[in-house]
Structure 1
Amino acid sequence: MPSEQRSRIRDSTYTDCRIQLILGLRTYTDRDQSIRIPLWISNSGRHVADIELTLPRWEAVLLREQLAEVTSAPGSVVTELLPDRAMVLESGATLVSKVPHPA
Structure 2
Amino acid sequence: MTNKWRVERIPSQPPTRDEETNHITIPVWITHDGRHKADAKLTLLPSEAVALFDQLGGLLRDRTARSNALNNQGSVLAPGVTLVRHEE
Normalising by the residue count of structure 2, what TM-score does the alignment of the two structures yield? 0.67
Runs (5+) with no aligned partner, structure 1: 1-11, 84-103
SS of residue paired to 2:49? helix
Answer yes or no: is 1:69 the counterpart of 2:58.
yes
Runs of 4+ in 1 over 2 A off after TM superposition: none
SS across alignment from 1:68:
helix
Q: Which has the higher strand share?
A: 2
5+ residue gaps in structure 2?
A: 72-88
Q: Measure, in 2, the Cα distance between the counterparts of 1:25 and 1:47.
A: 16
Partner of residue 49, structure 2: 60
| Equivalent position of 1:25 in the other structure | 13
Q: RMSD in angstroms over aligned alpha carbons?
A: 2.0
**Distance between the aligned counterparts of 1:56 and 1:19, measured in 2?**
19
Higher relative contact order, chain-length normalized (CA < 8 Å, sep 6+): 2
After superposition, residues 1-103 of structure 1 pair within 5 angstroms as 15-31=3-19, 32-73=21-62, 74-75=65-66, 79=67
TM-score by length of 1: 0.58
> Percentage identity across aligned positions?
35
